[in-house]
Amino acid sequence: MKPVDEERIAARLAKLMAMICVRNTGIEKLHAGTVPVSHTGDCSDVFITDADGRQIPWPDASHIDDDQMRSLMRQIVDRLYTFHLKVDDQEFRDHLDRWLTVAERWDEPKLDEAFLATNTGGEAKLPR
């Protein structure tokens, strides 16, 4: 297979997997809600007041707790697992084809150099 064909297939697959395995998960709940108004554009002028009265700058606030992160990651892993196990099933592929028409409208992916660096002896370290 030619490299250009491999890249085209990888791009389609990446967008499709992002759409059905990541986007349509609990991440939608995190995305829902009221977006704060920011006059600076970077939310450095937005603060959250917690139950103890602390003013926390929006960029410094956690927007997902450990339980939510654990739940989200389980859902994504389960969907990726299902994707890989069922990708040869024709009924599942028909389902994927319907989603692919939406995912193909997304921007083309590019190589993530920082991700490559973490897997080739770069400075990023695995969590303990």
In angstroms, the CA 79 to CA 24 distance is: 10
Owning domain of residue 12: 3-108
CA 32 to chain centre: 15
CB 79 within 8 A of CB 25: yes
> Once rounded to an integer, what is the mean pLDDT over residues 34-50?
94
Q: Could you tell me if residue 86 is inside a domain?
A: yes
The answer as to whether 94 is a domain residue is yes
Is 64 inside a domain boundary? yes
Give 29's pLDDT tier (boundaries 50, 70, 90): confident
Residue 126: predicted pLDDT: 53
Query: Into how many domains does the chain fold?
Result: 1
- pLDDT value at 123 more than 70: no
For residue 113, is it within any domain?
Answer: no
Q: What number is the average pLDDT over the span 62-84?
A: 94
Q: Could you give the CA distance from residue 107 to residue 84 in angstroms, rounded to a whole number?
A: 23
Classify residue 120: in a domain, yes or no.
no
| Residue 21 forms part of a structural domain | yes
Contacts of 16 (CB under 8 A, 6+ apart): 96, 99, 100, 103
Q: Is residue 80 part of a domain?
A: yes
pLDDT of 127 > 70? The answer is no
Report whether pLDDT(124) > 60.
Answer: no
